[in-house]
Structure 1
Amino acid sequence: MYFDEFFEEFIFNCQSRNLADGTIKRYRKMLKLLGDFLEQSKIDDLDDITTKHIRHFMLSLKRKGSKETYINSHLKLLRSFFTWLLDEGYNDTNPTIGVKFFKEKKVVIKTFTDEEVLRMIEVAGIYKYNNRKVNTEFTRFITQRNKLIIMLLADTAIRVNELCTIKNDDIYKDRILIKEGKGDKERFVYLSNPVIAQIMKYNRVKKNNFDGVVIDDNLILSKNGTKTMPLDIQVVIKKLGKEANVRKEIRCSPHTLRHYSAQTLLKNGVDVYSVSRILGHSNTKITEVYLRSLETDEVLINTRNKSPLSLIKRKK
């Protein structure tokens, strides 16, 4: 197809900019959908693509049952693609300019309860093989690693990609330097005492398990001593969630633990700006989505002792 060469050059440009694998994967998916749409519409020249075609492309996704958030994310990717075409001189106009986003529904993010997170940590400490508990250096490594995975994601709100790229040298006593955050932005995340203690236990069993073996310098390792991939982490959390009897309506994933961490920080009185910094968001509007998900009762309890008159009394 005529457009394939532009698609591949754009993907190469994304790779040379060191964009995350997940971002590149989304670009590929979007370009495949766009390519199929252009072929069906019998459009074979860049200059023939108009704003009307982009609107029709978005509407075609909606007719297939795609949600507004999904379609809007594709429009964002399309804008980046056509901006690149313009910058490279391959196109004279950007047909995505003027195309409005679909109005998105106010989504309430449901996540784990404190009890569910504690149960997941507890079941992570039990490794079973053929329905019996096993106690070897390897199983001690697996259990301590899985406990650390849950604890880090639940306590620091880091992304799964960030977790997989943490090096041992990125840990500074009570904090971790996240070097490969979204958009290549670096930030520190704080480590609580329980997590610091778990890192110490994990490093001890990791050293014993891989004694004499050359391993990667990543904090979280696979059973072979290599870097753990996001998909591996997702499988671990899904398995632990099932064993911990997490509610069926809750998606057991690394991102749900990120939601849990963000909502818990807000419930505990941490301001939106600080939570935004911890999450690595580009602005507080993204973080405010978590505020909408707090139950009314939770908001009332958090504000009860912070009302103007209550504070005046305390000053007296």
Structure 2
Amino acid sequence: MTRVVLVHGIAQEMKGPETLLADWYPALSDGLALAAGPRVARDDVSMAFYGDLFRPAGHRGLGTPELDASDVQEGIERDLLLQWWQSASDLEPRVAGPAAPARLRTPLLVQRALNALSHSSFFAGLSERMMISSARQVRRYFTEPDVRMDIQDRIARSVTPETKVMVAHSLGTVAAYEALHALPDCPGLTLVTLGSPLAVRNLVFERLLPRPSDGHADWPTPVERWTNIADVGDVVALAKELAPLFGDRVRDLRVHNGARAHDVRPYLTARETGRAIAEALRGDAVGSG
């Protein structure tokens, strides 16, 4: 019986569903406890895992193939890295921004972005390869139909008649939103999105399926309640509020996650997240709490 479906984000290709649950489940339980919510047994929680779809194929060399600025593709990959750079510089004075006009070829401009991001608290400790790989997974989701379909299928197969709430993080919020549109007949549930890029214009929002119309996205039929939670310092969730684009039924909340603003664990331990999940598990009336 799966009452809670979890959907992870980018850069999880070397893990698996049980590995991720070992991180997510204690944080989920802590958030529920802080919100005075009901306890949920681990057997009632499942991870809609798709990270392996991004795992590189075997090769002759040792370790993971390196990526550098010259490997970044024009379009989504380049533009996403530049948006992260701009957002990080807006939030942290010590991060040099891209304000100075630069007529640079993509590799040089991207190298400036990677250098700047490496000095931000958000990306501290991440290698250039990991930053590029993260942007690449977003690009692949939107440009490779088979990958997109396989990810959404993994999510759809995790939903059961007993599912009360879906909790999605990062790129997983995009996949969850689209997957739920393909499940119009499933029982009503609550959607909780954490660190979501769904409202990022030009890079994400306009690429959603079904396509938004006149600047507004369709509401997923199975969703009875939707709570979106973002940290002000989360540079992946560049647009912190979803209600302006997805409808005023979305409840947008802010939390403070400390230095690792996009990390799913502080999102899950936040009382606001625990309360949103608790409302779904208790079956509180829509609009209460």
The interval holding the TM-score normalised by the smaller chain is under 0.3
**Per chain length, whose mean CA-contact separation is higher, i.e. which structure has more relative contact order (CA < 8 Å, sep 6+)?**
2
TM-score computed with the length of structure 2 as normaliser? 0.26
* More helix by percentage: 1
TM-score computed with the length of structure 1 as normaliser? 0.25
Larger radius of gyration: 1
